[in-house]
Copies of this chain bind each other. A is one copy, B any other.
């Protein structure tokens, strides 16, 4: 099944791609790899702010991470023209804005990982690191960067 059929089956529509908030580009293509800039969580078109373990908890963090994965797919769609060109999601770096006591960054990250596997199947299974950061740009609760392989 094509990636777009899967997105439709999951009732996911890709959002408009936001330009980066600073002096960099959303994606760089080198060889067979696409390096995608860190995307921050958004809610109703604005940064989704908060700190996990303080004013947000794991379920919201997962939802935020899932939303970022959809934005990352939108960015890849804009860069490639066709998400079916992706042969593999290589790696995610999952940055969770964390209170010093919050230890469920891996569960937050699953919100993104599960979505990528739902949409891309085996091609969506990736390496990953998740960790708690002191703070994120614009106060966002989660930021994720991605490396993908295309043929």
Question: Residues on A close to B: CB < 8 A?
Answer: 20-28, 30-33, 35-38, 51, 53, 88-93, 95, 98-107, 109-110, 113-114, 117, 125-139, 143, 145, 147, 149
Question: Are A37 and B127 closer than 8 Å at their CB atoms?
Answer: yes
Q: Which of B103, B126, B133 contacts A24 (CB 8 A)?
A: B126
Residues of B within 8 A of A31 (CB): 31-33, 149
A22-B130, A93-B129, A103-B135 given; name 12 further pairs at CB < 8 Å.
A22-B128, A23-B109, A23-B110, A23-B113, A24-B92, A25-B125, A28-B88, A103-B136, A105-B136, A130-B137, A131-B133, A132-B134
Residues of B within 8 A of A143 (CB): 129, 131
* Copies per complex of this chain: 3
Q: Compute how far the CA of A142 lies from the CA of B42 in the bound complex, rounded to whole angstroms.
A: 26
The closest CB in chain B to the CB of A52 belongs to B135
Residues of B within 8 A of A103 (CB): 135-139
Question: Are B22 and A126 closer than 8 Å at their CB atoms?
Answer: no
Q: Which of B99, B102, B117, B127 contacts A36 (CB 8 A)?
A: B127
Closest 4 CB pairs of A and B: A38-B129, A132-B135, A24-B128, A106-B137
